């Protein structure tokens, strides 16, 4: 059973500022470039391995709990899956695993309160609101075995990665089309989290950061990165949020991906307000009205489009195959 710090006999003793407020200059580049900053969450009792193992019980309260398991494990009974996840967390130092628990702020009130406090600190640093304008915000925890590498990838959200325990090296690249191709971005938004394709020319590019407990890193949206963990267990906490304009851009990319797959050449994002708005409305109309998870909110539209889209693509291909025979008469007709 998950325990609060008070029930564990531990006084929470949360400092007034969870994020250092002294150096505000880097925050002027929020969402434009990566930067490091300091936090005060290292050693916090909510992020101890034993506490996180207890927390894992709550992932089964949500319909997407099977995301945490390999394909071959997903048919196992729920009690067995609970045991596997809990033991994987407790043995993270020896099992070579990469583990994450997502949206933990929704699972237990203490994590939700912590997320709210962190957003309040960021609002003070940037002198503008986040919580009243964001469409989605969440907290995730990452537990990595020693020396584990995390593949090159990028994310949709505005992200802040905070190191709690252990050490990791992060190489982070300039966001969006400064590093990625439009094909990679569109492929990502059709729900391919590993759409980023690492290239040899990126080896010495980007900016390298070393995260130790108390250090944190801001990832702008669509900023590709690679991670190498140190020689001890790494525990990192990530908070992220999205704004409505970020979701609109994502839906334009989704529409353009589908149009491109049909052999068309869609207008690039930002070229036409009219067509961008039409694409956003179309994709939003396909999306679930009451999504239960972030994935449903972002990807249900493009996934609903998948079946008729594949059918239309097949029909178009068939039409192309038959095009050379258009106008030809059968032998019977030619003999008449």
pLDDT tens-digit profile of 193-232? 999 999 999 988 999 999 999 999 999 999 999 999 999 9
Of the candidates 219, 293, 305, 194, the one whose C-alpha atom is nearest the C-alpha of residue 256 is 305
Of the candidates 158, 226, 170, the one whose C-alpha atom is nearest the C-alpha of residue 197 is 226
CA torsion angle 299 112 81 292 (round to 10): -30
The SS3 assignment for 273 reads helix
Q: Write down the pLDDT at residue 65.
A: 93
pTM assigned to the model: 0.85
Q: Write down the pLDDT at residue 262.
A: 87
CB 57 within 8 A of CB 82: yes
Q: Write down the pLDDT at residue 323.
A: 60
Task: Determine how β-strand 207-211 pairs with β-strand 98-101.
Answer: unpaired
The CATH homologous superfamily for domain 30-242 is Cupin (2.60.120.650)
Residue spans per domain, the chain: 30-242, 246-321
End-to-end C-alpha distance for the chain, whole angstroms: 85
Regions of the chain with pLDDT less than 70: 1-16, 307-336
Q: Write down the pLDDT at residue 230.
A: 96
Note the Cα 195 to chain centre separation in Å. 12
Residue 312 half-sphere exposure, CB side, CA atoms within 13 Å? 12
The SS3 assignment for 295 reads helix
Give the sign of the dihedral formed by CA 277, CA 281, CA 287, CA 288: positive
Q: Write down the pLDDT at residue 331.
A: 47
CB 105 within 8 A of CB 245: no
List 161's β-bridge partners, or say none. Answer: 217, 238
Q: Write down the pLDDT at residue 7.
A: 45
Q: Write down the pLDDT at residue 294.
A: 79
Kindly state the DSSP code that residue 19 receives in the 8-state scheme: B
CB 253 within 8 A of CB 185: yes
What residues contact residue 245 under an 8 Å CB cut-off, 6+ apart?
A: none
């Amino acid at each position: 059973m998950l325990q609060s710090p008070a029930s564990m006999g531990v006084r929470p003793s949360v400092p007034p500022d969870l994020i250092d407020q002294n150096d505000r200059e880097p925050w002027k580049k929020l969402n434009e470039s990566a930067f490091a900053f300091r936090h005060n969450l290292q050693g916090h009792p909510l992020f101890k391995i034993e506490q996180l193992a207890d927390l894992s019980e709550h992932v089964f309260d949500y319909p997407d709990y099977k995301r945490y398991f390999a394909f071959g494990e997903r048919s196992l009974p729920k009690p067995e899956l609970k045991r596997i996840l809990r033991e994987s967390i407790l043995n993270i130092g020896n099992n070579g695993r990469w583990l994450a628990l997502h949206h933990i702020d929704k699972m237990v009130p203490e994590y939700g309160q912590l997320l709210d406090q962190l957003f309040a600190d960021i609002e003070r640093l940037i002198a503008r609101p986040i919580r009243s304008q964001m469409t989605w915000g969440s907290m995730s925890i990452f537990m990595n075995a020693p020396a584990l590498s995390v593949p090159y990838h990028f994310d949709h959200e505005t992200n802040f990665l905070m190191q709690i325990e252990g050490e990791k090296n992060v190489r982070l690249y300039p966001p969006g089309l400064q590093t990625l191709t439009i094909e990679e971005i569109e492929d990502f938004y059709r729900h391919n989290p590993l759409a980023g394709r690492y290239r040899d020319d990126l080896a010495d590019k980007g900016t390298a950061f070393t995260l130790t407990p108390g250090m944190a890193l801001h990832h702008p949206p669509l900023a590709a990165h690679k991670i190498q963990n140190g020689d001890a267990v790494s525990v990192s906490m990530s908070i992220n949020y999205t704004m409505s304009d970020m979701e609109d851009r994502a839906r334009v990319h989704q529409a353009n991906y589908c149009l491109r797959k049909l052999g068309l050449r869609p207008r690039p994002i930002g070229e036409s307000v009219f067509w961008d708005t039409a694409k956003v409305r179309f994709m939003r109309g396909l999306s679930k009205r009451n999504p239960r998870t972030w994935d449903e909110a972002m990807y249900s539209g493009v996934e609903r489009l998948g079946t008729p889209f594949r059918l239309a693509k097949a029909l178009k291909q068939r039409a192309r195959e038959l095009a050379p025979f258009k106008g030809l008469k059968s032998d019977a007709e030619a003999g008449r």
